[in-house]
Structure 1
């Protein structure tokens, strides 16, 4: 064990067996409460070293995934906040994926207060990553699980849709580059450039038939 193991971030995880006991989950599932209520109430939740958890699909890291929506009053067009993950010209040109989701891990530091760690962690991650300068309504929309890749196999996303009164969102970190509101139409046209979770969320909340 390395000498800095005690200072490594510990993140909230759920045993995969707990999820499997509730039911099959893959892709985007709108039945949030069916899974999330027993998950958050379970005594099997734990905080474990993030490095090890990134490689262990027998545990799922719980991730709030917030999409921010604004409707242009001039034409009624729905727009979502989008950014390029891991900015920088080289990364953007070669590998960087665009994302409509903001959020991150629930850390052990989020526990111990009067509020539940999930809510505290979501707020902390949002405040670290973006500044929201308008009132909004928070709607919990679904769960995300994508076992088709190594990253997806170890994360469970909880999708929140923030409906903003004004398009006032700015990035606080260089890792969230080129943040702007774009139309759902544009997101659909550029769908292949989005990360998988963003594709699944877009397809679920704004299917092509609508």
Structure 2
């Protein structure tokens, strides 16, 4: 089965955004709005073939978007030309995550979210002690101004790690990982290379 035939979790845009009454651009960090949107996703999500969902903005794909942090340091990465998503080659990013899949035996959407986030981190990174991570919710990310963003909705978390925990990317032919900070990421020549969602993260962390 090709990746575009994978069945992924989606939710109807019209209901998620309450017929656009809850639409936002960038990061939504108001807790009331976050809980309303996540509650609607929990009540309305279904599965759809990925290839169809990627071409249909009437559905939003909830994506766990996890930022790895140690104190003031952030783990960033560059998508190399060997990676599969051509729209993102040579871009810089802060977030690890991906499409969600339904899981048998998972009783709540929050549990499904955490299960998928953990799976994505384990697929993409070597973290020497993931159980020591402190997971903190930051908000939701939405950007309808480009083809990638209009079909996705980011659920933004940070994983705060102790200094002694080591982090390395697994797919070194597709991704180059490195530690940086908000000050460096805010420099124009770096900021302009960031994926849009990562620009939003830098903006909120730089407040």
Residue ranges of structure 2 left out of the alignment (5+ in a row): none
Q: Is 1:183 paired with 2:181?
A: yes
Q: Provide TM-score, normalisation by structure 1.
A: 0.82
What aligned pairs does 1:135-146 form with structure 2 within 5 A after superposition? 135-146=132-143
Task: Report deviation, 1:26.
Answer: 2.0
Give, in whole Å, the separation in 2 of the partners of 1:148 and 1:81: 26
Number of equivalences: 190
Aligned counterpart in structure 2 of residue 14 of structure 1, from 5, 11, 14: 11
Give, in whole Å, the separation in 1 of the partners of 2:175 and 2:98: 16
Q: Is 1:196 paired with 2:206?
A: no
Task: Report deviation, 1:162.
Answer: 1.0
Task: Report deviation, 1:104.
Answer: 0.4
Alignment match, 1:45: 45
Give, in whole Å, the separation in 2 of the partners of 1:27 and 1:102: 18
Q: Is 1:100 paired with 2:100?
A: no
Residue ranges of structure 1 left out of the alignment (5+ in a row): 72-77
For each residue in 1:106-164, what CA deviation from the matched residue of structure 2 results, as whole angstroms up to 9, or x when unmatched?
013xx112453222111111110112224221001000010010110000000001111
Runs of 4+ in 1 over 3 A off after TM superposition: 86-89
Task: Report deviation, 1:35.
Answer: 1.6
Give, in whole Å, the separation in 2 of the partners of 1:174 and 1:117: 28
Q: Provide TM-score, normalisation by structure 2.
A: 0.84
Give, in whole Å, the separation in 2 of the partners of 1:62 and 1:193: 24
Alignment match, 1:112: 104
Aligned to 1:63, what secondary structure does the other structure show? strand
Q: Is 1:55 paired with 2:55?
A: yes
Give, in whole Å, the separation in 2 of the partners of 1:88 and 1:38: 37
Between 29-38 and 121-130, report the one with greater CA deviation: 29-38
Structure 1 residues 196 and 48: CA distance shift in structure 2, 3 A: same
Give, in whole Å, the separation in 1 of the partners of 2:183 and 2:174: 22
Structure 1 residues 176 and 168: CA distance shift in structure 2, 3 A: farther
Give, in whole Å, the separation in 1 of the partners of 2:74 and 2:174: 15
Structure 1 residues 56 and 48: CA distance shift in structure 2, 3 A: same
Between 45-54 and 179-188, report the one with greater CA deviation: 179-188
Aligned to 1:123, what secondary structure does the other structure show? helix
Aligned to 1:143, what secondary structure does the other structure show? strand
Structure 1 residues 49 and 86: CA distance shift in structure 2, 3 A: farther
